[in-house]
């Protein structure tokens, strides 16, 4: 089974050791689009045997960095058709998490599943952990959040388009769409880790916003004053639970604008026989 991961990087050197520690056990190839990093990120990327580093292409929309990135995320994975069983589209501070991801992906493939949305958690910690830590263990607390739930793993041969919205917070995929009967993947979003680090990073992000981003209020959270930033942080802390321990049935859910069949996934793959065939032929509408 082959898994390709596509992501973007800009001065993510602090997060990259955690990122690779999490994904290396089950990702075979990384394609990383670097947006002009100057913090040592390129040394880490070029030193990793599985990574192909590419420069960020010219902006598709010169007025908007956010829209240009959205268009790139809807296209860059397509080169893995015929080369990978699964594609991951994610950010460097997002960890797609399952107790045994490789075995689960194999079971989903046997069952005929083609896309795997993840239920999101806004992970939060005031202190930044040491670089040799496993991030999900060092920062176990996160607020379950529908906005953080995203489509992150799918079969590139089965999808015609992903149709990600801004920030990948929504998607309207097209193609041969088959979901697992229940969601089993968590998205642990570690953006809010290290209070002073995040505040400084927001200031840098704000300086990179373009006119179209500002006009549409994309990245408005980068403009929060100190009091509003603290209120947002406390809200995440107050709503946080042990993200890996929380039953996913209690999660507020996700957004996926697509008609898709659903099949059971078990150790033997599930989803076969007459019931599986009928679900594929007459998929229920899921939103």
pLDDT of residue 258: 75
User: From first to last of its 287 residues, what are the pLDDT tens digits of the chain?
Assistant: 999 999 999 999 999 999 999 999 999 999 999 999 999 999 999 999 999 999 999 999 999 989 999 999 999 999 999 999 999 999 999 999 999 999 999 999 999 999 999 999 999 999 999 999 999 999 999 999 999 999 999 999 999 999 999 999 999 999 999 999 999 999 999 999 999 999 999 998 888 888 888 888 778 788 889 999 999 999 999 999 999 999 999 999 887 777 899 999 986 544 444 334 434 444 433 33
* C-alpha span between 259 and 213 (Å, rounded): 31
pLDDT of residue 272: 42
* C-alpha span between 125 and 52 (Å, rounded): 31
Residue 265 lies in a domain: yes
Residue 150 lies in a domain: yes
pLDDT of residue 228: 94
* C-alpha span between 120 and 147 (Å, rounded): 7
* C-alpha span between 147 and 169 (Å, rounded): 6
Range of the domain at 81: 3-280
Residue 54 lies in a domain: yes
Residue 285 lies in a domain: no
Residue 287 lies in a domain: no
What's the domain count of the chain? 1
Residue 60 lies in a domain: yes
Residue 228 lies in a domain: yes
Closest CA to 184 of 121, 127, 265: 265
Residue 286 lies in a domain: no
């Amino acid at each position: 089974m082959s898994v390709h991961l596509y992501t973007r990087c800009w001065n993510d050197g602090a997060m990259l050791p955690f990122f690779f520690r999490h994904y290396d056990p089950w990702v075979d190839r990384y394609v990383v689009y670097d947006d002009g990093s100057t913090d040592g990120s390129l040394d880490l990327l070029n030193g990793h045997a599985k990574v192909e580093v590419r420069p960020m292409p010219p902006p598709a929309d010169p007025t908007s960095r956010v829209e240009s990135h959205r268009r790139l995320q809807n296209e860059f994975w397509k080169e893995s058709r015929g080369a990978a069983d699964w594609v991951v589209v994610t950010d460097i501070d997002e960890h797609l998490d399952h107790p045994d991801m490789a075995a689960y992906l194999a079971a989903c493939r046997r069952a005929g599943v083609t896309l795997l949305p993840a239920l999101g958690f806004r992970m939060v910690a005031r202190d930044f952990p040491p670089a040799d830590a496993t991030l999900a263990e060092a920062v176990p607390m996160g607020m379950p959040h529908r906005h953080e739930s995203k489509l992150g793993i799918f079969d590139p041969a089965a999808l015609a388009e992903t149709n990600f919205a801004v920030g990948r917070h929504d998607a309207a995929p097209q193609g041969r769409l088959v979901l697992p009967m229940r969601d089993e993947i968590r998205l642990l979003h570690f953006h809010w880790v290290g209070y002073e680090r995040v505040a400084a990073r927001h200031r840098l992000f704000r300086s990179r916003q373009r006119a179209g981003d500002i006009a549409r209020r994309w990245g408005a959270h980068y403009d929060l004053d100190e009091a509003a930033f603290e209120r947002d942080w406390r809200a995440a802390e107050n709503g946080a639970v042990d993200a890996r321990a929380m039953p996913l049935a209690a999660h507020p859910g996700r957004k996926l604008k697509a008609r898709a069949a659903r099949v059971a996934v078990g150790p033997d793959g599930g989803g076969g026989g007459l019931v599986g065939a009928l679900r594929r032929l007459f998929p229920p509408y899921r939103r």
